[in-house]
Structure 1
Amino acid sequence: MSLFGKLEVEVEIKAPAHKFHKVNTTGNSELPNFCPQFIQKVESLEGEWGEEGTVVCWYFHVDGKTVVSKEVLEVVDNVNLSITFKLIGGPLLELYKNVKFIVESTPKGGGGLVRNIFEYEKLRADVLDTNAMLQLAVEVTKEIDAHLI
């Protein structure tokens, strides 16, 4: 059994892809207002919003629990409307050696298509996949889209 995995899901949005990308890169502090049932708070611990190397702490609900996740903004691609966060702290690191969250926004008509990708390496073969995080990404994407249109 492989310890490496990749899960992804696409969500069609009505808002323009560039607006969705902008919220994910420079408007993270607004996300709790967009989807308070999923994200309670987002804090920038080091660096500036939207800049590579920025360290962010997320407080969110998943599987009925409040979880804190510390991540570094590893890649910001404003041309291809993509952003990559690398997990550097939080309870997921008790199960996974490496976790990356990638959000790609692609223009489609007047709206767009958002692809949420989770790449990971498990610490042990018996660790389950991150399906709960994938479902959270779908719900958050829908909430952000509803707020933007």
Structure 2
Amino acid sequence: MGLKGKLTAQIEIKAGGDVFHELFSNTPHQLPNISPNIIQSCDLHEGEWGTVGSVYSWKFTHDGKQKVAKDIVEAIDKEKRSLTLTTIEGDLLELYRVFKTILQVETHDDIDLVTWILDYEKLKDDIEEPVTCLGVHINLSKDIESYHLN
């Protein structure tokens, strides 16, 4: 297996794609209120919420352990409802040289789909693919949907 890879998950949501894009692009600091079991905090480290170049600091739970990450907002496309975050510090970089999280929201035949793409480069060949990280994003999506539907 190679060191570089991409994992993708796409799930249908009923809460509305705009809700997801707005939340992750402009108000990610609300995520600890929506999904406290997964996201414990999201703080603005540099820049302004919802702007390219801003840096967010996260505390989150992954595989039953509290972890930290610092991400830079690499891209926001309001028309395509996409967001790209690149991890620049934190626990994930102990395993991965590069770790990007891409969120895309699409609508097909009145069905909203959230797509998560994890684009990564492992430090060593024997490191596992970040499948459990993808699971965290799927569970976070379910929490957001439940929150907005209730």
Q: TM-score range by the shorter chain?
A: over 0.9
1:1-149 matched pairs, under 5 angstroms: 1-108=1-108, 112-149=112-149
Say if 1:74 and 1:85, in contact at 8 Å, map to a contact too.
yes
- CA offsets 1:80-117 (integer angstroms, 9 cap, x no match): 00000001001111111101000001124555100000
Query: TM-score w.r.t. structure 1 length?
Result: 0.96
Q: CA–CA distance in 1 between the matches of 2:135 and 2:143?
A: 13
| 2:37 partner SS | coil
Choose 109-118 or 17-26, whichever is displaced more: 109-118
Matched residue of 2:66: which SS?
Answer: strand
Instruction: Mark the runs of 5 or more structure 2 residues left unpaired by the alignment.
Output: none
Judge which range, 102-111 or 78-87, deviates more. 102-111
The answer as to whether partners of 1:34 and 1:147 remain within 8 angstroms in 2 is yes
Change (3 A) 1:66 1:15: same
Q: Which stretches of structure 1, 4 residues or more, deviate above 3 A after TM superposition?
A: 108-111
Query: For 1:106 and 1:147, how far apart are their aligned partners in 2?
Result: 20
Structure 2: distance between partners of 1:40 and 1:10: 24
Secondary structure of the corresponding residue to residue 48 of structure 1: coil
* Alignment size in residue pairs: 149
For 2:25 and 2:109, locate their aligned partners in 1 and report how far apart those are by CA, in whole Å. 22
Partner SS, residue 139 of structure 2: helix
- Counting aligned pairs with the same residue, the percent is 37
Query: Which amino acid in the other structure matches residue 8 of structure 2?
Result: E
Report the Cα distance in structure 1 between the residues aligned to 2:98 and 2:121, rounded to whole angstroms.
Answer: 5
Which AA in structure 1 matches 2:146?
A
Q: Which amino acid aligns with 1:28?
A: P
Give me the TM-score of the superposition, normalised by structure 2: 0.95
- Looking at structure 1, the residues matched to 119 and 2 of structure 2 have their Cα atoms a distance apart, in angstroms, of 13
